[in-house]
Amino acid sequence: MKDNILRKGFNHKVLDATYKAQKKYGFEIGSGEHATWNNEADAFKHAYMSWYLSYADGDFISKYLGDMHENETPNAPSGERNMDLWNNEIGREIAYDMKQRFGEGAMFLGEDRIEKYAVEKIIEKMNNGELITHPDDPRKYENMELERLKEKDRIYTGEEYKNFDEKMKAMVWDSYFSNIIANDWKTPSKNTLDERVKSGELIYVDNYVRANGTKVNGYYRRTPYNKSKSQN
């Protein structure tokens, strides 16, 4: 009985935060009983719920409760389950990044400012297309790390950089230069990057095809959230 009361209270908090954010940012929302179902409001709701649980109680609790919620409806369409799991993971990622940024100093920011920051990050990811906002989205939860590669995460060798045109060189210069610094002020080569892969600092991703059909050649990249988190 007590657990049911607590759960209803938490669900109310999540829905209240969703409606409040929708009013401020104007993202898609339905009406009536299914107002937050298979739309942007649904995506926000799951990311917010997962962020809150992860920031307050840790990733394990957040993932356990999120997965438990999905398992309560085992016959739900696979696209809906995929959408929810994906957006839950985004919420945990935001919590992880915030903990890395604020550390123990978060206690001095206050709950309202922490929540405001998290909501802004969720909206930012929604606007950037990183959330799944409809169950027909072809991206798969199992392939999140591949589907969400950002240019700043990619590591180029000196040979690759040399062959870029001037426009591409300018686009990747900041991340390329930062990696030169991380590489003991040496131009990254395949050999040095392979050594960093062996140490776990980087990973190498083999050729693959994105959900939208785009072919991606193999590349070096910074360790993604899921893997870097597990090493801490």
φ, ψ of residue 140 to 5 degrees: the values are -110, 140
pTM, entire model: 0.76
Dihedral sign computed on CA atoms, order 83, 118, 61, 225: positive
- The amino acid at 184: D
For residue 69, the model assigns a pLDDT of 85
pLDDT tens over the chain, length 232 residues: 335 545 678 889 999 999 999 999 999 999 988 899 999 999 999 999 999 999 999 989 999 999 988 888 888 899 999 999 999 999 999 999 898 888 877 767 788 999 999 999 999 999 999 999 999 999 999 888 777 777 677 889 999 999 999 998 998 898 888 888 888 888 999 998 999 899 888 889 888 888 788 888 888 988 776 555 544 4
For residue 151, the model assigns a pLDDT of 67
Q: How many residues does the chain have?
A: 232
DSSP 5-48: HHHHHHHHHHHHHHHHHHHHH------GGGTTSSSHHHHHHHHH
